[in-house]
A = this chain, B = another copy of it.
Amino acid sequence: MTLDRAGRLVGIVLISLLALSATLARAAEPLASWNDGPTKSRILGFVQAVTDRASRDYVPPAGRIAVFDNDGTLWSEQPVYSQLHFAIDRVRSLAPSNPRWKTQQPFKAAIEGDMKALAATGEKGLLQLVMVSHAGMTSDEFTRIVKDWLATARHPKFNRPYTDLVYQPMLEVLDYLRANGFRTYIVSGGGIEFVRAFSEEKYGIPPEQVIGSSIRTRYEVRNGQPVIVRLPEIDFIDDKAGKPVGIHKFIGKRPIAVFGNSDGDFEMLEWATSAPGPRLGVLVRHDDGEREFAYDRASHIGRLARGLDEAPTRGWTITSMKRDWKTIYPP
């Protein structure tokens, strides 16, 4: 053996040992950004029970399905959903080719950043905004537009990219569940293609495990190349009672673990946790106005009231961001 070759071997062994020790460290301390307390214990205890073959609560890997709301559960949703910021920015960038928008609502409000006037246009106005910003292009073009936006846009309060504002403790829950044989899904009221544009990179969740609201699409061959074209018509609203419908349609199984933060997630938690067998229902409560935002019953976004009232009788765990989370965002 040459010295050179011996050196390389030593290097390989060292790298292997480092990788091993990192793995062991992770295995030794899951949920490192969680303070000890009832939520952390509940999550650890649940995963222990369903993965222990000797436990009467054992669940084979095929049944280990965990679903997560996105806005307010995996990343910040205040002061307004990131996707609404995206729609507004998109309208602004399209405004030069649509001069009539300057005097036409809801576009005028979006261009001027007048959120009050925008809200006054109601559901109809918001829908118009979504359609001009989300439809009319191919799916590949839309993904590119979203990725470009995510790379440059900044959150108004934190002045950081939106994708920096994912919750470190929840990333650890995703990792921990996957390390224990779970498949992790997003079930978002947001647009399925919008979320897919960053879910794999930021959450380790591939496109086929993202469920969300959608607009209709059409298959077309353009200049010999097939494309999926996005149409300005609602296909499916994945919110409230739509969430169990979406889960059933895409997965065809009832999840055993479910994480949400608002009454938009109520039915999804209800559906998953009212089946027999071990079930985990967790609601993230936004009570940390200093590090993030504080809101629940009175909020226009991410309203949480019925969930708070019924969590105790339904066996759902309320996570306090203030009390349970050592850090909010990744370092």
**Which of A's residues lie within 8 Å of B, judged by CB?**
62, 139, 192-193, 196, 206-208, 210, 214, 217-219, 221, 224-226, 228, 241-242, 244-245, 248-253, 267, 270-271, 274
> Closest 4 interchain pairs by CB?
A207-B252, A219-B241, A219-B244, A226-B271
If A219-B271, A270-B221, A271-B226 touch, whether A208 touches B241 (CB-CB below 8 Å) is: no
Residues of B within 8 A of A221 (CB): 270
Q: Are A253 and B207 in touch, CB under 8 angstroms?
A: yes
Residues of B within 8 A of A274 (CB): 224-226
Q: Are B253 and A217 in touch, CB under 8 angstroms?
A: no
If A249-B192, A252-B208, A253-B207 touch, whether A244 touches B228 (CB-CB below 8 Å) is: yes
If A219-B245, A245-B228 touch, whether A207 touches B267 (CB-CB below 8 Å) is: no
Q: How far is the CA of A309 from the CA of B259 in the complex (A)?
A: 51
Q: How far is the CA of A221 from the CA of B267 in the complex (A)?
A: 9
If A225-B274, A228-B244, A228-B245 touch, whether A219 touches B267 (CB-CB below 8 Å) is: yes
Residues of B within 8 A of A270 (CB): 221, 226
Q: How far is the CA of A251 from the CA of B192 in the complex (A)?
A: 11
Which of A193, A207, A208, A248 counts the most B-chain CB atoms under 10 A from its CB? A208
Q: Are A226 and B139 in touch, CB under 8 angstroms?
A: no
Residues of B within 8 A of A226 (CB): 244, 267, 270-271, 274
Residues of B within 8 A of A228 (CB): 244-245, 248
Residues of B within 8 A of A252 (CB): 192-193, 196, 206-208, 210
Q: Are B192 and A218 in touch, CB under 8 angstroms?
A: no
Closest B residue to A217 using CB positions: B245
Closest B residue to A139 using CB positions: B248
Q: How far is the CA of A249 from the CA of B244 in the complex (A)?
A: 17
Q: How far is the CA of A27 from the CA of B16 in the complex (A)?
A: 30
Contact partner of A208 among B214, B217, B250, B271, CB < 8 A?
A: B250
16 contacts between A and B (CB under 8 A): A206-B252, A207-B252, A207-B253, A208-B253, A210-B252, A214-B249, A217-B245, A217-B249, A218-B241, A218-B245, A219-B267, A219-B271, A224-B274, A228-B244, A228-B248, A250-B250
